Amino acid sequence: MKNYTLLSLQELNAPYAQQLKEAACRVIDSGWFLRGAETEAFEREMADFLDIEHVVGVANGLDALRLIFKAYIEMGKLQPGDEVIVPANTFIASVLAITDCGLTPHFVEPSELTHNIDTSIIEQAITSRTRAIMVVHLYGRACWDDNLTTVARRHNLLIIEDNAQALGARTHNGQRTGTLGDAAGTSFYPGKNLGALGDAGMVTTHDAELAQMVETLANYGGSTRYVYEHKGLNSRIDEIQAAMLRVKLQYIDTENIRRSEIAHLFDRLIDNPHITVPQHPAQAHSHVWHQYIVRTHYRDAFMQYMHDNGIATGIHYPIPPHKQQAYKEYNDLSLPIAEQLAGEVVSLPIAPYLTNDDIQYIAEVINKFDPLKQ
């Protein structure tokens, strides 16, 4: 029996091992570990890749999002107590960034088709205190449309992108996620499409003042050493991680194309009435397939069956943020679509190192699943 983990970081990084080791040695020999040449080069190369003016490397994806909100507060564009619209179907870090800055999340249901925020109902969620919308390009699918931009313009709202899962994705007119809104936070957690060998993240924006403020806040709140204008934090990217990311950035488009081929193979090969593959709306943006998610009413049985057949699966995510103990104050909210998705989604292995034969095999196993025989 073949064995498949959900994701092997060893296999993911193996093609670049030699280059990564050389880059790590370069940093070790330089004796310079923070705010140096690697970070500067990484920020410049990423700015070219995304076609955006400002890239600020930070310690992780959650900090990238927190720093954006914190910077807007310091700039007077947001105030504690303001409401931020956020998808109910997201990883908890999207919401943590909001509440950590004293802002109030307002959860909006996802579209069943895309699993992203349902942009057609955002306007109903706007109150006199709403100041921003956070969009999350969940699983790697770009979330951007006219509903969103029209509502934001009409109500003078900032748009902040949680780009943690979607580096490299584009809208149908070719613009990359991370450059669509007023600011974006991206994560380079090792399992993300562009993963560091540890924690790292970045803020991207067209706004020079915001970029400067984020950089200052991420360095204790001072732009000059030992002179502090703001109460900041320590959230810098390591030179080592910047060097690792410079190696892997060169291959991200190729890897994302491979992920997309795998996803389309799964779409074509999975044929089981109990398993629903991802749907593709008419005017689809690019999807970089951080996760390949199927839905089933028989999740426990399906996951056990896959496990018994040597194929690991995952759940992204089993409990929506508003039902977490950490957010007791929102536990009584009813967001039935988000809750239903949380009860039905299953993530299959997807990674650039998987071959067509691997995908064929996994699909064949899936097609033999019969919940009545479990």
- Residue ranges in contact with ligand PLP by CB under 6 A: 60-62, 90-91, 93-94, 136, 162, 164-165, 187, 189, 199, 201
Amino acid sitting at position 107: F
- Report the nearest approach of ligand PLP to the CB of residue 98 (Å): 11
- Where on the phi/psi map is residue 226: left (φ > 0), alpha (ψ -120 to 50), or beta? left
- Report the nearest approach of ligand PLP to the CB of residue 165 (Å): 5
Strands, E, within the chain: which ranges?
A: 54-58, 83-87, 104-108, 130-136, 158-162, 183-187, 201-205, 292-295, 345-348
Residue with Cβ nearer ligand PLP (191 or 310): 191
Residue with Cβ nearer ligand PLP (119 or 309): 119
Residue with Cβ nearer ligand PLP (54 or 290): 290
- Report the nearest approach of ligand PLP to the CB of residue 143 (Å): 11
Provide φ and ψ at 261, rounded to 5°: -60, -45
Residue with Cβ nearer ligand PLP (87 or 221): 87
- Report the nearest approach of ligand PLP to the CB of residue 308 (Å): 29
Instruction: Give the bridge partners for 54, in sequence order.
Output: 205
- Report the nearest approach of ligand PLP to the CB of residue 292 (Å): 15
- Other C-beta atoms within 10 Å of 226: how many? 6
What's the residue count for the chain?
374
Count Cβ neighbours within 10 Å for each residue of 52-79 and write b for 16 or more, e otherwise: bebbbbbbbbbbbbbbbbbbbbbeebbe
Show the tokens assigned to 15: 């093609």
Show the tokens assigned to 246: 């410079």
Residue with Cβ nearer ligand PLP (292 or 369): 292
The answer to whether the beta carbons of residues 70 and 275 sit under 8 Å apart is no
- Report the nearest approach of ligand PLP to the CB of residue 186 (Å): 8
- Report the nearest approach of ligand PLP to the CB of residue 187 (Å): 3
Instruction: Give the bridge partners for 292, in sequence order.
Output: 348
Residue (of 92, 87, 96) closest to 116 by Cα position = 87
- Other C-beta atoms within 10 Å of 147: how many? 15
Residue with Cβ nearer ligand PLP (46 or 164): 164
Residue with Cβ nearer ligand PLP (116 or 309): 116
Residue with Cβ nearer ligand PLP (91 or 302): 91
- Report the nearest approach of ligand PLP to the CB of residue 301 (Å): 27
Select the residue whose beta carbon is closest to ligand PLP and give its number. 61
Show the tokens assigned to 22: 């050389």
Show the tokens assigned to 225: 């050493």
